[in-house]
Amino acid sequence: MKHIIIASVLTMMSFSNTFAADIELPQPQKTGGMPLMEALSNRKSTREFSQDKQLSTQQLSDLLWATCGYNREDKLTIPTALNRQEVSVYVITPDGAWLYAAKDNKLIQVTNKDVRDYAAAQDYAKQAPLNIAIVSDKDLMPNDIYAGTDAGAAMQNIYLWCASNGIGTVTRGSFDGENLAKALNLKDSQRVILVQTVGY
Ligand SMILES: Cc1cc2nc3c(=O)[nH]c(=O)nc-3n(C[C@H](O)[C@H](O)[C@H](O)COP(=O)(O)O)c2cc1C
């Protein structure tokens, strides 16, 4: 009986911790920004990031919506082959990592550990306050070329949003995919395709 009570309390604690660590995002701002041709002119990779200056929650919401949010009832800002919508997006900061729940416009915490050592091989990215992992699910999209193509669309949306907002970014294939997948609690069928560093 004692065990049952302790187990129930632990379950309640872990649920309340999970909820407490989730983050409701403000509604993304879907208007404005730089004209497309100017954003394309400014698109580039940068590899120097401030460790202190961070994006606001509003900027993060806008960025995530641009990356892989819903721009119609059931369709995304990125195209996906056969509309499989196999791409998911994780936010990685020194305080932990979160899954972007696009429909609910919130971040669901998957760990409260700093997983940047797995998310980055290069020091500039390990020290940056924000990395975005672009994840694909083989159960939904078994074709590697399509999986890479769809993830690449999310990658380019990040580049263009950053260019439009005067924020630096670089996409990276250099990360520890196996350990990062474990740290993000991914399913066996999921893998990280790219990790993109974003910041000032
Ligand atoms: C699939 C892919 C993987 C990349 N991996 C890395 C990486 O691990 N580290 C890095 O610093 N840059 C990486 N880059 C960024 C490229 O080096 C960069 O896009 C290229 O040098 C051209 O520069 P630009 O983006 O400024 O045009 C990657 C780019 C792509 C598309």
Question: For the chain, what are the domain ranges?
Answer: 24-199
Q: Which atom of ligand 1 is nearest the CA belonging to 45?
A: 26
Residue by residue, DSSP assigns 108-170 as: EEEESS--HHHH-SSHHHHHSS-EEEEEEETTT---HHHHHHHHHHHHHHHHHHHHHHT-EEE
For ligand 1, whether the C-beta of 45 sits within 6 Å is: yes
Q: What is the pLDDT of residue 123?
A: 94
Minimal-distance CA residue to ligand 1 atom 6: 172
Residue 60: C-alpha distances to residues 106, 110, 196, 199, 200 (Å) = 11, 17, 14, 10, 13
Minimal-distance CA residue to ligand 1 atom 31: 171
Give 1 or 149, the one with higher predicted confidence: 149
Structure confidence by residue, pLDDT tens digits, 80-100 = 999 999 999 999 999 999 999
For ligand 1, whether the C-beta of 131 sits within 6 Å is: no
For ligand 1, whether the C-beta of 47 sits within 6 Å is: yes
Structure confidence by residue, pLDDT tens digits, 30-74 = 999 999 999 999 999 999 999 999 999 999 999 999 999 999 999
pLDDT at residue 2 greater than cutoff 70:
no
- Tell me 99's DSSP state: E
In angstroms, rounded to a whole number, what is the distance separating the alpha carbons of residues 131 and 44? 16
Give percent of the chain with pLDDT exceeding 90: 90
Q: What is the pLDDT of residue 20?
A: 61
Ligand 1 centre from 47 Cα, in Å? 10
Which of 122, 155, 169, 171, when mutated, tests ligand 1's pocket best, judged by the most ligand atoms within 8 Å of its CB?
171
Q: Which atom of ligand 1 is nearest the CA belonging to 155?
A: 31
Fold of 24-199: NADH Oxidase (3.40.109)
Q: Which atom of ligand 1 is nearest the CA belonging to 174?
A: 8
> pTM (2 decimals)?
0.91
For ligand 1, whether the C-beta of 50 sits within 6 Å is: no
List the structure tokens of 150.
């769809």
Ligand 1 centre from 89 Cα, in Å? 19
Q: What is the pLDDT of residue 12?
A: 36
pLDDT at residue 182 greater than cutoff 50:
yes
pLDDT at residue 6 greater than cutoff 80:
no
Q: What is the pLDDT of residue 34?
A: 97
For ligand 1, whether the C-beta of 116 sits within 6 Å is: no
pLDDT band at 1 (very low <50, low <70, confident <90, very high): very low
Q: For residues 61-94, b (16+ Cβ closer than 10 Å) or e, as one string?
A: bbbbbbbbbeeeeeebbbebeeebbbbbbbbbbe
- Report the range of poorest mean pLDDT among 2-16, 90-104, 153-167, 177-191: 2-16
